[in-house]
Structure 1
Amino acid sequence: MDGTAQLSAWRPALSGVVEVLHAYFPSHAYPTHTHDAWTVLIVDEGVVQYDLDHREHGLSQAQVSLLPPNVPHDGRSVRPEGFRKRVLYLEPDRLGDGLIGAAVDQPEFVDPVLRHRIHQLHGVLVDGREEFEAQSRLTLIEERLSQHLRRQVTDPPVRRDAGVAARLREVLDGHLPTGITLDEASKLVHAHPAHLVRAFSREYGMPPHRYLTGRRVDLARRYLLAGRPPAEVAGLAGFYDQSHLNRHFRKMLGVSPSRFVRP
């Protein structure tokens, strides 16, 4: 690791996340402090040691740490080369009431699925253009964190719900260019966001954000074949800008939009 501290922090547009922090600290040690948010922490390099409510804990790359709001903690590197971490700070009401004590008792989880979901969400938040995907991923992360706090390590059984899945698909199809948030879709379908994501994924074999992106690529193809230029097609099909369209178009079809329409 380089010997210079590196830090990037921002507030994303994603509701429920008050801050995202990516940092490398070669020698910094946090003094005892508190946050008014849930702190979801993963370590990418090194090992972190911290005291939470006067009890010592350690966090390696295989774990996820969840620090509760308003509980004192500190932080320091175990190894001389320092540590690299990524953090999500969630609004205090996102995980429900009465769970702070459980987090104080057991703030670390060895859960590869949860860690991978957090890693994926960080990637989406760095990109900053996939709002629906970010909402979907955050919903599943929060659900799994709540399960851990209630001592339910694995996901509970999820029943198939073709009706909910079909209604969500109709809502997504009706909002291809304009877009819709997961909370808005939840109100229209009358189902909890987490149940929406799971029911849709079970029924159609893909999460709803991936379906939405695929349908937008289909719409872009129609506009391109009708002679519209790629810069115009991006907005018409619901993409953030032309580079956003290009990335998803290449991923789906292996070529750029401009090559797609060549004779």
Structure 2
Amino acid sequence: MAAEGEERRVYYDGDLEIEAYRLSGIVQKFPNHFHDCYVIGLMIGGRRHLWCRGAEYDLSAGDIVLFNPRDNHCCSPIGGEALDYRAVNIGPQVLSRLLRETGLGAEELCFAKNVLFQSDIAQPLAALYDAVAERAPKMEREEALFFLLEQLIDECAAPRSESGGDERIRLACGYLEEHFAENVALGDLTALTGYGKSYLIRSFTKETGLSPYRYLQTVRLGRAKRFLESGVPPVEAADLAGFADQSHFTNFFKEFTGVTPKQYQRIFCSGVAPSKGDA
């Protein structure tokens, strides 16, 4: 059940194929994790300490956060202040299509920075969130989305890095992403990479920002979201995604998303998740 004063709302726009969400009155810490989508967020109120890809930031109202897919991050409140936050999530394939439609010659976007302090991008981002949340006419929502994308391309884009990294750790990541529903053990990864268990854990964490188990659980969370979006009941989605039991799945899901699996699924039935106390 949500704490008194908390409000969590999530909207899915089927026309734009994006998610918009609001977290207000939230004091909880969000543990280290990543998203499979691009996240563009705006601090409205409160202060948060953010860890992302080995760097640390103190965020306040007016600051923008930008996460590429798989950018590991976590955050916690500063001084016990409650978070007030708006954001939009855009899947990589959807963003690639949208970028082509801008006509600006970009087909891929990589955010050069994870934080923009007191950025002018706050206004178009807030406008897009409001348009989606208020179910504005389609043309208004489309204009708001493309106006935001053009500013992001102009101010935040960087060439995508082609650095190789550790090939064997990439193999381990691929194995976890392919076998997410199975009872994967460290021995499976050491057999694949040739690394000892201790060295594997250190190398994997250094390369990805997450331990192998946290990486696997985050992949499972992403798959569970897709199952829920397609109408699979939460109990079945938990099993298909590889979670041991429904209680663990529900607790883990809310810890990382701020809403329960049932609330998340209702986004795709009614367009908005319940905001308070609805499991």
TM-score of the two chains, using structure 2 as the length reference: 0.48
Measured in 1, the distance between the counterparts of 2:34 and 2:157 equals 23
Deviation at residue 75 of structure 1 after TM alignment: 1.5
Deviation at residue 99 of structure 1 after TM alignment: 4.2
Match of 1:12 in 2: 13
Measured in 2, the distance between the counterparts of 1:112 and 1:149 equals 11
Match of 2:45 in 1: 45
User: For 1:134, which of 136, 141, 145 is the aligned residue?
Assistant: 141
Asked if the contact 1:26/1:80 (under 8 Å) is kept, the reply is: no
Measured in 2, the distance between the counterparts of 1:148 and 1:24 equals 28
Measured in 2, the distance between the counterparts of 1:110 and 1:12 equals 28
Aligned letter for 1:30?
F
Alignment of 1:57-68 (within 5 A): 57-68=57-68
Secondary structure of the structure 1 residue equivalent to 2:147? helix
Match of 2:151 in 1: 144
Asked if the contact 1:46/1:79 (under 8 Å) is kept, the reply is: no
Deviation at residue 98 of structure 1 after TM alignment: 5.9
CA shift digits 1:91-146 (9 cap, x unpaired): 2242656643x43xx21224653211111111111111311111011001011112
CA shift digits 1:18-51 (9 cap, x unpaired): x111112442000011111111111111112211
CA shift digits 1:185-219 (9 cap, x unpaired): xxxxxxxxxxxxxxxxxxxxxxxxxxxxxxxxxxx
Aligned letter for 1:139?
F
Asked if the contact 1:50/1:73 (under 8 Å) is kept, the reply is: yes
Measured in 2, the distance between the counterparts of 1:50 and 1:112 equals 17
Deviation at residue 150 of structure 1 after TM alignment: 3.5
Asked if the contact 2:20/2:133 (under 8 Å) is kept, the reply is: no
Measured in 2, the distance between the counterparts of 1:137 and 1:111 equals 20
1:97–1:58 CA distance, 2 compared to 1 (3 A) = farther
Measured in 2, the distance between the counterparts of 1:144 and 1:133 equals 17
Match of 1:92 in 2: 92
Measured in 2, the distance between the counterparts of 1:10 and 1:48 equals 23
Match of 1:36 in 2: 36
TM-score of the two chains, using structure 1 as the length reference: 0.50
Deviation at residue 60 of structure 1 after TM alignment: 1.7
Measured in 2, the distance between the counterparts of 1:97 and 1:55 equals 28
Aligned letter for 1:6?
E
Asked if the contact 1:50/1:75 (under 8 Å) is kept, the reply is: yes
Deviation at residue 87 of structure 1 after TM alignment: 1.0
Match of 2:131 in 1: 124
Secondary structure of the structure 1 residue equivalent to 2:40? strand
Q: Which has the larger radius of gyration?
A: 1
CA shift digits 1:192-249 (9 cap, x unpaired): xxxxxxxxxxxxxxxxxxxxxxxxxxxxxxxxxxxxxxxxxxxxxxxxxxxxxxxxxx
Structure with the greater relative contact order (CA < 8 A, sep ≥ 6): 1 or 2?
2
